[in-house]
Homo-oligomer: A and B are copies of this chain.
Amino acid sequence: MFLVRLVYASRKSPDFNESDIEQLLASARKHNLANHVTGLLCFNRKYFLQCLEGSRARVNATYHNILNDPRHNDIVMLDYREVDSRKFDAWSMGYMPESSLTTPLNLRYSGTPEFDPYDMSGESAYQMMLELGATVPVI
C-alpha cells in the first residue's frame, strides 16, 4: 500500500455555521478512525484547509466524499505526495480553530493576513501544515 498525504483548500457554504463544526469533526473523526485516516483541519469563518494522511485508496475515497459534501465548495488540492511516514498520526482529525490562525501565521505563508488557503502554493500549504502540526495539542 502506498502512504500518501493530501492538502486541499475549500470555501464554506453559506448555510454552514461555525456551530456546525463540532458535528462535522465528530463525524469526520468517526469515519477516519474506521479508515485509518489521520490529519488536521483548519477553519475560519470563510475557508477550510485540511490535510489527510493514510493509504492511497482510503485517502482518495475520503477525498471523494469530501469533494461532494455540500457544506463547502471550490475544493482545490494544494499538495499530494507519497510519504514514508505520517506527521499527524496522533489525531484522527486534529482541529485548528480560527483563534489559532493568527495574523503573523497567515502572513507567513500567504499574501493576506486573514486565513486564505487559496492564496498558497502547494509547498507553502505543506510547510504551514507542518508548523501547525508541531503545535496542535494531542487530543
Contact = CB atoms under 8 A, between A and B. Distances in A.
A36 B112 contact: yes
- When all copies of this chain in the complex are counted, the total is 10
B64 A110 contact: no
A98 to B, nearest CB: 18
A108 interface: yes
A26 interface: no
Interface residues of A, number: 46
A57 interface: yes
14 contacts: A1-B111, A1-B118, A2-B122, A6-B77, A36-B111, A38-B107, A56-B76, A68-B68, A77-B80, A80-B81, A82-B121, A84-B121, A84-B127, A85-B124
Name the 5 nearest CB pairs between A and B, nearest first.
Answer: A55-B111, A80-B80, A89-B107, A89-B108, A89-B104
Interface of A: 1-3, 6, 36, 38, 54-58, 60, 63-64, 67-68, 75-77, 79-82, 84-86, 89-90, 104-105, 107-113, 118-124, 127-128
